[in-house]
Structure 1
Amino acid sequence: MSEQISHQSRLAPTGPGRSSAMPSGPYESVPVKHSEQGALTVPFTGEDGRTKEYDFTRLPLPRMHRDLAIAFAARTGPTGTLRTKSSANSAYLGIRRLLAFLESLHARPTSLGELTPRHLERYRLERLKTVKVGPVGTELALLRMVLASVTPDTELSPQLREFLQQPGHHRNGAKAVGRPGYSDREFRALVTAARSDVVGIRERIRVGEQLLQTFRNDPENLDPEDRILAAHLDAMDQTGRIPDVTWTTRLTQRVQHRFARVALARHLYLTQDDLTPLLLLGVALTGRNSETIKELPAQHRVLEGRAVAVALTKRRRGKSQSRESVHWEIGTIESRQLHTPGGFYLLLHDLMRRGRRLTGDTRVWSIWAGIAGRPADDPAGQGKHSSLGHIDPYALNLTRDLKLGRWGASHGLTDDDGNPLEINLNRLKTTVEVRRTRAVGGHLPSASRTNTMDVSFVHYLQGDPRIRDWADQVLTTAINEAEANARAFRPRILVAGGEAALNSSPETMADDLGISPELLSRVIQGELDTLASACLAIHRSPFTDADVCNVSFLTCLRCPNALITEHHLPALLSVRDLLQTARDTLPLDDWVEEHGRTWLALTQLILPKFSEAQQAKAATKKPVSLHLSFLSGPQEPR
């Protein structure tokens, strides 16, 4: 202890104006493990508490292992952006597939320094042979994130570094459109069936609890068979152990082995078959993604008996917005319990409280899954054994076979054409979004409670035929407004005749343009040029409060501070070509939103000011190095 105190006394004192003392020795920010046997692994602990260890040792191309492992650890570590087990799994699987593909090439790269954008493009095309565009785009995005975290970045080729820094990667391929939701009739039938099952679950557990309470208070009031059953329930409640039983039911059927244990467990605990109606009703009542319902925490607060406060996990929002506190209505009478999100949550919490006592989980979910099906040396199997078969069904991951088709068939659910109704949690979420949007007259800011307006429309509303008509009207209005705004704007343009007049009367020309002769002289000399115009007031932007304008170069074409002369014409023609190419590749509504106003200003107000001869001459001088992603820069003001 004295040695430690002595060491601390030698440190420089801290205080205002003094830097804190830095620890000695190297600092390793990423947890990469090297075992004595040569194994290279990355341990992971997500923000949701799920853990895993990723082994890079057996992957192909060993010279890449260490750099990729460190980059992967940085991305999945405490300061990284891949903070759930599912996202870490996806990134690791992407790395494994990429390395396997690279190894199969005749001229394969052996180190990260030899990896080029062409290799990634060939990998993308190979994956598209068997996988849809959306998942491939997601996989490539994760790979680019990991590669961008390689340190130092000089380990990568200059071409690859430049490629990773380019914006617009997410625009590759067609944007996925959400599937249509259910019709009103289909939705009512589905929710009614789910609610009926949940009522059955509630009553089943209540009957078991009443039988248990009677056994403890007045066992003589039970008939012999119920007394035997209640004795089992008493032991189950106290220990969590589901005994091996064989008994004769009132229907004289012998129930034994595994089915007997499941039947016995269901008197006090939930099982796998209960998950389907509970999840379906949870999505229908809350309008939340099924992933959010699966992550519901056990901790909550009841507010004046009217609402419950719950902190939700929003897995798709990113690290900075992964938590959201909500207040859900409870309902003042029990008949409304399964019609309100708060009432549903409290029922869910109560139904699984016994199981949570045994697992100690912080999420609300707990079922009895038995102890069979896993070898004893498997970590998940050991966890199941230690909790006597009681588990959080979503502790390891959020994927679990719910047998939705079988559930729908058991209730005889059909679509509007009389065919078996496809049961899909995403379609159910879409239906809730659609119904909410219709209820508020199509006003997205009012309807978008669980997602941003963009996410609500693209992923949940855009594919629904009942919303599409309304959206088309909104889009038409947006186009008309964009055109009106563009036409109301009058850019300042100095054409050839104006440049000739400048030589004879610069003061008059400057006065006509509303600027000083000195500023006009700087424009003519090219001192104020941006990419396709001159900026007369870069410190007084109408689009931003920043000290220096930092908006897109494309926005210059509809900015009152811009002055366009003939020597800008080659770049303007190149911009027109780039916008035309984007129009051919982007969905029309995306293109209108991003480039509609710029296109109208350029083609209707600027280029017509120049003669065909001027444009033909300028076309021979068009720059070849312009890229739309560079021109776009920051997102344009809306």
Structure 2
Amino acid sequence: MVVDFHGEDGRRASFDVGRLPMPGWHPLLAEALAQRIGPDGEIRTLNGAEHSWQSTHRWAHFLASAEPSPVVPAQLTREHVDAFHSRTDFSSRTTHRDMGEMKVQFGDERLRGRLPADAWDAFNRRLRRPRRTAVGGYSHGELDRLTAAARADTARIVQRIRSGEQLIRRLQVAPEQLDPQQRELARSLAAMADHGEVPLLEPGLNRSHRRVELASHLFMTWRDMAPLMVLMALVTERNVETLKELPARHRVLEDRAVELVLVKRRHGVKRWFETVTWEIGPKGRELHTPGGLYLLLLELTARSRRYCGSASAVCIWRNGHRAGVHGRDEHFAPFELSLSYGNAMAVSTWAVTRSKPVLADPPRAKNTAGKDTPPTQAAAAPAPLKVTFNKIKTSAEARRTKQLGGHLPSSAKSNTAQTLFTNYLSPDESTREWAEEVITEALADAEQASWDAHAAAAQRKGGGPKVITDAASPEQLEEAGIPPQTARDLARGDLDTAWTACEDYDHNPETGTTCGDSFLTCFHCGNCLVTRTHLPRLLALMDALGGLRQRMSENAWWERYGPAWVAVRRDILAKFSRAEVDAARQQPLPDALLDLVEAPWERP
């Protein structure tokens, strides 16, 4: 009844189902848990395995307290499942997670068959997936301020530790050049460097604080983690779980890049590891490139890593009185113990308590129409920026996508294009605004290109269509400059084509021969005649083209129909009054006759 777990990251654990209550359930629970966290199970992290075990633990204890208690799985009823879901001794989030976990554990067809049908149906009826709250990113200004703050504080950490190392070297080379206070500090640091032990100091005010200050001359401490990890997340564009498990093992490629293997969780079973190559960049720019920052991290943590013997890149010194450790054991790799250890980093606290707090953008005031307006002096003062690694990741993904012009396949770095869009881009307000601007500009460019194509074609074909807005009878058409016979034929409809009329079908203005062009090119031709009677057909065509646009790619639609569409919209309909167009639209529109240009011989 013991289920062993061997994680992909080397972490292991054993869970003894036999110690739970309800012995009649032990075989089923042990088998279900083994399928969930075993070699072929979906759970591949120790944290996930512990969550699965906790749900199993709570399920067994709940059944033991139920009245009547189902001694064996066959006695489980719908009421038991409903009561498990309705528990009040845990939060709604915990009860929902437990329900989901037990449903997955019992989900195998063979295991599910050992439960009564109505009990299994209760799992399905009760369990509903909660709606996830979208996490947006930071604005450009917020991201710039956060980056500048993290970079400045990381630079101070580097300067502090390098100054401590330099002080030790000066003590060894030229101790006479040090003043007494520097010499005393240098001797303490040299002893710490040799043995890895920070002295306990004499009792007194702020003893613990003074000890941390002394250790920080050579070692990274917990308070250094927030700015450094924020900067790592911003520069590498990786999530914080991956950064917590950065390895110290790496390979430098021609002093230009560093190669290392990352752990990327949630990529699926046996797909956890990814080899990446990070640019080092020029000397002095380490805080701006992922490879340079990674090597800088190794430099800052080198002494602690040597003393604790870890293979992790993130190794620090802690004041060990709370953990009950001292000496070299105060050096440790925090995330080897648990990834959740980093919850104490408190990045928002760091951002607000630094000498120059990181502030959010001023809130936008609402105008009378309910829309956002730029911040004014009357608006509330900017609040401290709430910093989370989820928002940092979202902002980094959005920034890279914008830099690559919005092309999702190229922008997807550590996720699929679908995950990039669903989880990072669509919830981000600034990205949506940018995308709307890009789309608007692209459509404007496409429309202008189609208009230029129409103008060029009209110049070749006799100047474009003749639009007669205030004439309908032959006499009125003659007064508008139409030859008498053509005016009579036009008024009777004898010259009508698909959507307009043709003044001289036998003489194409461009070729001088009988016209054989598509009806879509009529809108660029000098022989094209348009009167008020053609409005219903033109409106039907525009509606049909709008429907085609929903089913075709933008590029294909603009290439095939764009010049005709913009010619009708800007060179024909624009010459009629809005009242005339609205009156024509009130009438039943005829068939669009698109089959005349979509027959097999007309298809692109």
Verify same fold: TM over 0.5: yes
- The aligned counterpart of 1:312 is 262
Greater Cα offset, 344-353 or 222-231: 222-231
Residue of structure 1 equivalent to 2:557: none
Contact conserved, 2:86 with 2:95, CA < 8 A, in 1?
Answer: no
* Alignment partners' CA distance in 1, 2:33 and 2:186: 53
1:136, CA displacement in angstroms?
6.2
Is the 8 Å Cα contact of residues 4 and 38 (structure 2) preserved in structure 1? no
Corresponding position of 1:397: 338
Relative to structure 1, is the Cα distance of residues 114 and 353 closer, same or farther in structure 2, using a 3 angstrom cutoff?
farther
The 5 A counterparts of 1:163-182 are 172-182=128-138
- Aligned 1:497-508 pairs, distance under 5 A: none
Q: Determine the C-alpha separation between the residues in 2 that align with 1:408 and 1:469.
A: 27
Q: CA deviation at 1:196?
A: 0.7
Deviation track 1:49-108 (CA, whole Å, cap 9, x = no partner) reads 334443445544343234323432443234433221111111112222333443444344
Superposed CA RMSD: 3.4
Kindly provide the CA deviation profile for residues 334-393 of structure 1, in whole angstroms up to 9, marking residues without a partner as x: 2x211111111111111111111122212111111122223xxxxxx5xx5584211111
2:353 alignment counterpart = 410
Alpha-carbon distance change, 121 to 320 in structure 1, aligned in 2, over 3 angstroms? farther
1:199 pairs with 2:149: no
Q: Distance in 1 between matches of 2:122 and 2:86?
A: 17
Cα pair 2:22 2:60 within 8 Å, conserved:
yes
- Inter-partner Cα distance in structure 2 for 1:58 and 1:402: 36
Distance 2:439 2:119 in 1: 38
Shift of the 469–434 alpha-carbon distance from structure 1 to 2, 3 Å rule, reads same
Q: In 2, Cα distance between the equivalents of 1:424 and 1:128? A: 30
* CA displacement at 1:440 relative to structure 2: 2.3
Tell me the percent identity: 37
Moved more, 342-351 or 385-394: 385-394
1:102-129 alpha-carbon deviations (Å, 9 max, x no partner)? 3444344222333467755654455899
Residues in 1 aligned to 2:49 and 2:275: alpha-carbon distance in whole angstroms: 25
Q: How does 1:544-559 map to 2 (within 5 A)?
A: none
**In structure 1, which of residues 369, 372, 383 is the aligned counterpart of residue 321 of structure 2?**
372
Which AA in structure 1 matches 2:217? H
Distance 2:91 2:111 in 1: 34
Determine the structure 2 residue equivalent to 1:83.
44
Separation in 2 of the partners of 1:431 and 1:117?
46
Query: Residue 54 of structure 1: SS of its match in structure 2?
Result: strand
Q: Report 1:61-76 matches (<5 A).
A: 61-76=22-37
**What stretches of structure 1 of length at least 5 have no aligned partner?**
1-31, 34-41, 248-253, 375-380, 477-591, 593-638
Q: Take 1:315 and 1:309, find their aligned partners in 2: how far apart are those partners?
A: 19
Kept in 1: contact 2:81–2:119 (CA 8 A) = no
1:407 deviates by 1.0
Distance in 2 (CA, whole Å) between partners of 1:461 and 1:342 is 26
Provide the residue aligned with 2:195 in structure 1.
239
Do 2:161 and 2:217's aligned partners in 1 also have CA atoms closer than 8 Å?
yes
Deviations 1:555-600 (A, max 9, x none): xxxxxxxxxxxxxxxxxxxxxxxxxxxxxxxxxxxxx9xxxxxxxx
Stretch deviating more after TM superposition (466-475 or 106-115): 466-475
1:358 aligns with 2:295: no
The separation in 2 between residues aligned to 1:456 and 1:402, in whole angstroms, is: 26
Mark the CA change 1:386 to 1:216 in structure 2 (over 3 Å): closer, same or farther: closer
Greater shift after overlay, 205-214 or 460-469?
A: 460-469
1:195 shift after superposition: 0.7
- What are the equivalent positions in structure 2 for 1:591-610 lying under 5 Å apart? none
1:110 aligns with 2:71: yes
- Greater mean alpha carbon deviation, residues 287-296 or residues 143-152: 143-152
For 1:288 and 1:295, locate their aligned partners in 2 and report how far apart those are by CA, in whole Å.
Answer: 11
Flag the 1:218–1:57 CA change in 2: closer, same or farther, 3 A: farther
Match of 1:457 among 421, 424, 427: 421
What does 1:257-276 correspond to in 2, within 5 Å? Answer: 257-276=207-226
Match of 1:308, SS state, is strand
Match of 1:440 among 393, 401, 404: 404
Task: Tell me the number of residue pairs that the alignment of Structure 1 and Structure 2 aligns.
Answer: 418
Structure 2 unmatched ranges of 5 or more: 363-381, 441-550, 552-604
For the structure 1 residues 470 and 331, does the alpha-carbon distance in structure 2 shift closer, same or farther, using more than 3 Å as the test?
A: closer
Task: State how far apart, in whole Å, the 1-side matches of 2:185 and 2:434 are.
Answer: 59
Question: Is contact 2:66–2:80 with CA below 8 Å preserved after alignment?
Answer: no
Distance 2:312 2:391 in 1: 25
CA distance in 2, matches of 1:425, 1:361: 25
Greater Rg by CA: 2
Which stretch of the first structure deviates more once superposed, 325-334 or 100-109? 100-109
CA shift, 1:43, in A, is 4.6
Alpha-carbon displacement from aligned partner over 1:269-327 (angstroms, at most 9, x marks no partner) = 11110110111111111111111111111111111111111211111222222111111
The 1-side partners of 2:138 and 2:358 are apart by: 12
Q: Counterpart in 2 of 1:131?
A: 92
Shift of 1:189: 0.7
8 Å CA contact 1:71, 1:150 repeated in 2: no
Q: 1:174 to 1:406 in 2, by over 3 A?
A: closer
Q: How does 1:257-336 map to 2 (within 5 A)?
A: 257-334=207-284, 336=285
Task: Determine the C-alpha separation between the residues in 2 that align with 1:68 and 1:386.
Answer: 44
Deviations 1:152-176 (A, max 9, x none): 7664446678999x9x999x43542
Q: 1:388 to 1:68 in 2, by over 3 A?
A: same
Aligned partner of 2:386 in structure 1 is 422
Give the secondary structure class of the aligned counterpart of 1:316: coil
Separation of aligned partners in 2, 1:468 and 1:169:
35
Structure 1 residues 331 and 474: alpha-carbon distance in aligned structure 2, compared to 1, 3 A threshold:
closer
- The 3-state SS of whatever aligns with 1:317 is coil
CA distance in 1, matches of 2:281, 2:205: 40
The question of whether the paired residues in 2 share the 8 Å contact of 1:240 and 1:358 is answered with: yes
- Alpha-carbon displacement from aligned partner over 1:521-572 (angstroms, at most 9, x marks no partner): xxxxxxxxxxxxxxxxxxxxxxxxxxxxxxxxxxxxxxxxxxxxxxxxxxxx
Q: 1:423 to 1:333 in 2, by over 3 A?
A: same
After superposition, the Cα gap between the structure-2 partners of 1:196 and 1:474, relative to the gap in structure 1 and judged at 3 Å, is closer
Partner of 1:226: 182
Shift in Å, 1:404:
2.4
Question: SS at 2:314's partner residue?
Answer: coil
- Return closer, same or farther for 1:222/1:448 CA change in 2, 3 Å cut-off: same
Structure 2 residue aligned with 1:341: 290
Say whether the 8 Å CA contact 2:308–2:329 is kept in structure 1. Answer: no
Q: Is the contact between residue 139 and residue 430 of structure 2 (CA under 8 Å) also seen in structure 1?
A: no
Are the counterparts in 2 of residues 67 and 150 from structure 1 also a CA contact under 8 Å? no
In structure 1, how many angstroms separate the alpha carbons of the residues matched to 2:95 and 2:438? 31
| Residue identity in the other structure for 2:102 | L
Take 2:28 and 2:326, find their aligned partners in 1: how far apart are those partners?
38
SS at 1:460 equivalent: helix
Matched, 1:466 2:430: yes
Structure-to-structure mapping, 1:445-594, within 5 angstroms: 445-468=409-432
Distance 2:438 2:175 in 1: 68
